[in-house]
Structure 1
Amino acid sequence: MNIRLPPSQFHGVYIAKVKGLILCCRAVSHSLLPLFHSPRHHSTIPLSLTRPQTTRQRFPAVTMLSPSERHYSATSPAKTAATKKPPSPVRPSASILLLSPTNQVLLLHRVQSSSSFASAHVFPGGNLSTFHEGELPLLDSLEIHQDSEAYRLAAVRETFEESGILLARRNEGGAGLLDVGSEVLDAGRKEVHANKVKFGEWLSGIGGVADLDNLHPFTRWITPPNMPKRFTTQMYLYMLPLSASTSKRDVIHTPTHDGGLEHTAATFDDARNWLARTQSGEVVLFPPQCYLLHLVAQFMIGPPANGFTGEGHYQRQRDALMEFVKRVPTAEGKHATAAIPWAEKAMSPTVLFVRKGDKRAVLGLDKPGPELKGTRRGGDWERVVLVRFTKEMGPQGVEVRRRDDVLREEREGEKGKRKEKL
């Protein structure tokens, strides 16, 4: 028997015991997950791919939760304590941080009427499908958390379905993306989305093959254990060719929305602009998107100041980014997570505490989730994400900071308050 998979995105409910009381707060660690993607795509995975859960997992600790975080409780404290269950099995999904020829990042704008993450901006991506990607590892196996051909195929397929951009090359080899007419693309996009034809078969029929080699693994995100719907999302970095003019056979497809099913716009913009628009309240980003854009924005700094738009400028940005992605250790600190390459980092956000000043939750990113506990996997100890979750507006004030700086500010704030009382 098959089941229909829901969206690859998630909210997290973090539960903690504070002075004998159980406090609940809902947080987001995916558009996340799906991190990042559209929930409209309901792929199917057989129930036989998961084993029964027999052990209970401990929930991440949370302290100093404010009323705004407790507002996101799915159940009352008493009921939660009495009905705590083992974590739901994770479902595999994939997403792409896609860079344009001028190193801008593609985000999709969700429709306002969407059942989840309404009006948010997300990366293209979605759930793996046994129909399109074939047999998958067991959902409770370690292999389900590893980069693989199935994840890469799903990332390319979902990006095509959601944005119309086909990351494929000619099957006989050669440089450049596959050149396909808009009518063929539009028809194939609808057929693949409706599961009328397997993506690989359709692609082969038009003389193409998915460009899997140019997908660079760039972190994995796992839904926190207290979520009813959980995902393990492989994130990739892909860079479109710098310029179509360098080769008559190199084609760049303009992104388009999916006809209003789940997105109203598909837009490229500088990573720094996306972050600035988030701070101004113009767009809504969830913590994973903000985190990854923060990393990319260090290197993708926009066009040159002199206005000259030569390819060398953008290539140097890409070289610097790839050097960062491949560099180990990944941070100056001595924490064990610094020894984990970006391609292997796995993050399952946890609420560390809520700041007393601006009431923003501080999300830690160093834990990999219960499925990978005891392995060498982990995330990023050096950075945290600050966010204020609201019911009406979604996440507000999302910001990536160094953990040490945030902790120092909190300590200094406490010292200042104590001096005022003296």
Structure 2
Amino acid sequence: MAAPKVNPHSYTTVQPTGVAVPRPSASLVLLDSQNRILLTHRTSTIGSFANAHVFPGGNQDPEDTSSEFCAIRETFEETGVLLTTSPAPSSLVSTFPEVRKAIHSHKLKFSDFLSSNNLAADVDSLIPYTTWITPPTMKKRYETKMFLAFLPVSSSVEGTVEENVNLPTSDGGVETLSASFMTANEILAALGKNEIILFPPQAYLITRLSRFTNDTSLSVQQQREAIKSWIEQEGVGKYVFEPRPEGKTKDGKRLILGYGPRGDPHRKSVLKFGKGGMPADLQIMEATEAAKL
């Protein structure tokens, strides 16, 4: 068998059949002290997911010792939120904007930044939360390992070092226009009105979380325990999603996407693709309900 070749335009290896080999990447679903979800708003000029709201994440670099490390590095680059085993001192927090620029421009390695400041990425705090593989019809393909993590439930006073470290900001327009924590309700309401763009992975993961984070009868910590129990019992971390069309709604206006043999067999994405291939009218629903549309 001939060796794969490199496509210089997509920076993705291409098999002799012309199908791009998925590039390893990682992404982080991060919940703050109120169980709000961290989203970034991508710029219109970025190559992938332009104008969309996504979780922080990106391609795995040679320096990344694991997918978890990649997710933590990308989260820091894109939002300034740093997940380390011990908190960064306030004197270091003030340098984060310059450090992020240096890391993004490859003038500084994230691992060197951590080691020189006696910090370690908190990789053990990340919980596997599905894997998504881009369809083979796409020119740029990724195999993205999703992780879930929780910021401490803290009673600390706003403005302390801990709060400052966990305050998201954009990267100055390099890749993101904004970075902020939003409730699942806020995100899904905006999605329902087509006020924001989400792709199926983000919509699916947020929808699944919402049943827990919207349960006001539970404390923040109880919501977290329920989430972790669900992930373990359902084996969510072992799901590998390979979205594929399974038909259209009866009116022919929207596609019904399944998730492949290794994904969630009980749910579907229902959506249409608008200008530039951007998804719209996206819903995540039970397979039995999608079949009625």
TM-score normalized by structure 2? 0.89
Cα distance between partner residues in 1 of 2:107 and 2:168: 23
The equivalences for 1:4-403 within 5 A come to 53=15, 85-130=17-62, 132-133=63-64, 149-170=65-86, 177-180=87-90, 181-243=92-154, 245=156, 250-251=162-163, 252-301=165-214, 304=216, 313-327=219-233, 330=234, 341-357=235-251, 359-367=253-261, 378-391=262-275, 394-403=278-287
1:199-228 CA-to-partner distances (Å, cap 9, x unmatched) read: 111101111000000000100001111222
Distance 2:54 2:129 in 1: 16
* Cα separation, partners in 2 of 1:393 and 1:273, compared to 1, 3 Å: farther
Shift of residue 156, structure 1, vs aligned partner: 0.5
Q: 1:116 to 1:223 in 2, by over 3 A?
A: closer
Asked whether the equivalents of residues 169 and 178 of structure 1 are also in contact (C-alpha less than 8 Å), the reply is no
1:405 Cα shift?
2.1
**Distance (whole Å) between structure 2 residues aligned to residue 295 and residue 197 of structure 1:** 37
The structural deviation recorded for 1:320 is 0.6
Structure 2 residue aligned with 1:406, among 287, 290, 293? Answer: 290
Against the structure 1 CA distance between its residues 244 and 210, is the aligned structure 2 distance closer, same or farther, given a 3 Å change threshold? farther
3-state DSSP of counterpart to 2:238: coil
Q: 1:406 to 1:2 in 2, by over 3 A?
A: closer
Contact 1:5–1:127 (8 Å) recurs in 2: no
Q: Structure 1 5/101 Cα, relative in aligned 2: closer, same or farther at 3 Å?
A: farther
Which amino acid in the other structure matches residue 24 of structure 2? Answer: P
Match of 1:41 in 2: none
Q: Distance in 2 between matches of 1:179 and 1:4?
A: 41
Gaps of 5+ in 2: none
Task: Give, as a single letter, the amino acid of the residue that structure 2 aligns with 1:394.
Answer: M
Q: How many residues align?
A: 285
Mapped contact 1:94–1:235 kept (Cα < 8 A)? yes
Identity of aligned residues (%): 35
- Separation in structure 2 between the aligned mates of residue 249 and residue 186 of structure 1, nearest angstrom: 16
Q: Distance in 1 between matches of 2:77 and 2:9?
A: 17
Cα offset for 1:345? 1.0
Instruction: For residue 187 of structure 1, give the secondary structure of its aligned residue in structure 2.
Output: helix
Between Structure 1 and Structure 2, whose CA radius of gyration is higher?
A: 1
In the TM superposition, structure 1's runs of 4+ consecutive aligned residues that sit over 6 Å from their partners are 1-5
Letter in 1 for 2:169: T
- SS of match in other structure, 2:279: strand
Structure 2 match to 1:24 = none
Segments of 5+ residues of structure 1 without an aligned counterpart are: 7-43, 55-84, 134-148, 171-176, 306-311, 331-340, 368-377, 411-422
Shift of 1:278: 0.6
